[in-house]
Amino acid sequence: MINPWSSAQYFDYEKLIKEFGIQKPNNYFNFFMFRRHLVFGERGLEYIEYAVKNKIKFNAMTGLMPSGQMHLGNKLSIDQIIYFQSLGADVYIAVADLESYATRGISLEKAHETAVNEYIANYISMGLKPCKIYFQSENFDTENLSYILSNETNMNELKAIYGLTDSSSMLHVNSPLIQAADVLHTQLNHLGGPRATIVPVGVDQDPHIRLMRDLAKRFRIYNVKIEDGKISVYIKGSDDPKNKIDMAIKLLSGHGYECNANYEYRAIYVKNSSPEDKIKIDIDLAVEESKINDFAFIEPSATFQKLETGLKGGKMSSSVPDSLISLNDSESEATRKIKHAVTGGKQTVEEQKKYGGNPDICPVYELYKYHNSDDKYVQRVYDECKGGVRMCGSCKTEAAENISAMLKMLGEKKDESLGKLDNYLIKRSS
């Protein structure tokens, strides 16, 4: 079981793919995190591919916990968000100020200050364009929606997904529903209606992703399925389905599909369809459905990224300050941490020259691999290490120079970024 509240790391990515039904991404997205398999898994990513190919609006969503400092490890989700924004996504970012208040005792004022100074200013300096960033404590849409979503799940389901017991905190009941509402509210009609929505996460968040995808489906009237190589659409409910069936057939016929209706089975069979039509039909029907259903959600998609190893090996953790580089570290502080990092190198220079190092277990190599988009350069570092022509001392110096240059850029842009906040922070919803 994957537990989003545990500090466990999930490094056996192949096993995760096999046991939890996570898919491996195809080669469509030409971004270094995909090319290098740092994004190792996905759910429903074909919806985003379809939206990009067909120039249909889609959303990208992430959240931040306003505690501590932003570090290199939690920069990776934003790297993806900025990439998806460059492909046309409307971006939403939730600041989990209520959660940090409830679980860590951080006041809402302090959470606001931390979110802006430690996270959002860096996001803007990294290249995030204007988007919608909100504080959970101020967003009544998500609050109301989480209440409505709660009517479509029960304790048995939450126990099965999260391993909750009778003594589990009710926060672990509320929190998944709030997170589902954070993602799904971006598809409410007054915010643009049903859209494919991408959520880049670490794999520890997969239980939340599975729940929100299931909840999205449960609110739909039109359920699109592939049966015997063709598309069928089932109409949820126990009312007379005639109007809903006729409405869907009118839409599908307008797109050139030939449909047979079975009113008794509440079903439409799309005769001249193929499995490849599922996404198009699902999105088109969701948009049509939103005229009669306030919650015609399209199942959110997710990408799962690998976790960057801490500089001391193991997890990057704020409880081990030298295991991570904060984006607000000074250049000298970052350099010091990198110089003291563990490596995949051999004990002596002679052995390193003779046998080569092991970049595959080296956190210094990960600084190149996770934070430099130049494939040729990163491959050269890998080959030189393996070939014994790269020594750990100079390799660390080079990595420290690269990271310092990035920190310097972020520092220099910070005031300018803070001056642009009005284009990002959205006001309390009513």
Instruction: State the residues that interact with ligand SF4 by CB under 6 A.
Output: 343-345, 357, 359, 362, 364-365, 385, 390, 392, 395-396
- Least Cβ distance, residue 377 to ligand SF4 (angstroms): 13
Q: Who contacts 13 (Cβ-Cβ below 8 Å, separation ≥6)?
A: 40, 41, 203, 306
What is the C-alpha to C-alpha distance for residues 10 and 19, in angstroms, rounded to an integer?
Answer: 13
CA distance linking residue 133 with residue 427, whole number of Å? 9
What token pair was written down for 111? 């959470």
Q: Quick one: 51 or 395, whose CB is closer to ligand SF4? A: 395
Residue 110 C-beta: closest distance to ligand SF4, Å: 38
Smallest distance, ligand SF4 to C-beta of residue 78, A: 25
The CB-side HSE value for 422 (13 A sphere, CA atoms) comes to 1
Smallest distance from the beta carbon of 126 to ligand SF4, in angstroms? 25
| In contact, 222 and 248? CB cutoff 8 Å | yes
Q: Report the SS3 class of residue 301.
A: strand
Minimum CB distance to ligand SF4 smaller for 27 or for 394: 394
Q: Which is nearer to ligand SF4, 73 or 345 (CB)?
A: 345
62 touches 93 (CB < 8 A): yes
CA distances from 12 to 9, 18, 29, 278, 365 (A): 9, 10, 23, 32, 19
Phi-psi label, residue 351: left if phi above 0, alpha if psi -120 to 50, beta otherwise:
alpha
> Rounded to the nearest whole angstrom, what is the least distance from the CB of residue 367 to ligand SF4 in the complex?
9
Backbone angles phi, psi at 111, to 5 degrees: -60, -40
Shortest Cβ distance from residue 344 to ligand SF4 (Å)?
4
Q: Give min distance, CB of 382 to ligand SF4, in A.
A: 7
Q: Among residues 133 and 378, whose Cβ is nearest to ligand SF4?
A: 378
Task: Please say which residue, 67 or 343, places its beta carbon nearer to ligand SF4.
Answer: 343
How far apart (Å, rounded) are the C-alpha atoms in residues 208 and 161? 9
Closest to ligand SF4 by CB, 78 vs 395, is 395
For residue 94, the SS3 value is: strand
Q: In what order do the strands lie in the sheet with 222-227?
A: 222-227, 230-235, 267-270, 259-262
Task: Give the shortest CB-403-to-ligand SF4 separation in angstroms.
Answer: 13
Beta carbon nearer to ligand SF4, 278 or 396? 396
Task: Specify the residue, 279 or 385, whose C-beta has the smaller distance to ligand SF4.
Answer: 385
